[in-house]
Amino acid sequence: MKTASLALLLLLQTATSIAGTSFYKWSDADGVVHFTDDRNKIPAGFRLKARPLDLGEPEPVAAGNARPPSSPREPASASLADGHSEQWWRQRFAALRERIKALQDALPAKQTQLAELRRQRTLYQRSRDREAMNALEASIAADQTAIGELRDQLEALDQDAARAAVPSEWRR
């Protein structure tokens, strides 16, 4: 009987503490969504944009209509793109493409340098050449991995844009 009473008391205390906890949702400068239960953990620059989350029962969504209809007075950019502006979408696409291009442009020079180091290693058999080769090979591999990840991010952004009915000219 004491164990059951203690368990019930513990359960009630836990339920009360969870019910009284506020959760917040905020997005950083890169558009990554974060969740926290401590408002002080939100960076100062994003605290005003943080929204408290309602963890009550979810509202039913009509079939085929996941978004509320926009009012006729809303500009097209506000009703499209999950609330993001045309400029936001264009900047996101441009930033990803620029990072991919910068990495791709740097690869040929690194590969040429690696070929030269391999030639020197063959001729002189110096250990420092081997260390430089290993470092350069790791750098090239990291760049190629980063390019792949950025392409995946670009593809995911494009899919998000398609779901949000973002015009194709915003994605260029």
What's the pLDDT tens digit per position in 73-95?
334 444 455 678 888 888 988 99
Instruction: Check if the beta carbon of residue 110 is closer than 8 Å to that of residue 142.
Output: no
- pLDDT under 50 in the chain at which residues? 16-19, 57-79
146 backbone dihedrals φ, ψ, rounded to 5°:
-60, -40
Q: What is the pLDDT of residue 108?
A: 94
Distance CA 25, CA 81 (A): 19
- DSSP-H helix ranges across 52-168: 76-79, 86-124, 127-163
| pTM over 0.85, yes/no | no
Sketch the domain layout of the chain as residue ranges. Answer: 23-53, 84-171
Distance CA 159, CA 171 (A): 11
Nearest Cα residue to 144 out of 98, 93, 103, 99: 103
Distance CA 110, CA 114 (A): 6
Nearest Cα residue to 18 out of 37, 44, 45: 37
Q: What is the pLDDT of residue 58?
A: 47
Instruction: Check if the beta carbon of residue 96 is closer than 8 Å to that of residue 157.
Output: yes
Q: What is the pLDDT of residue 7?
A: 61
Distance CA 129, CA 47 (A): 50
Q: How far are the Cα atoms of 48, 49, 125, 127 from residue 121, in angstroms, in the given order?
A: 57, 56, 5, 8
Measured at the alpha carbon of residue 76, what is the angle toward residues 50 and 98, in degrees to the nearest 5?
A: 70
Strand, coil or helix: 22: coil
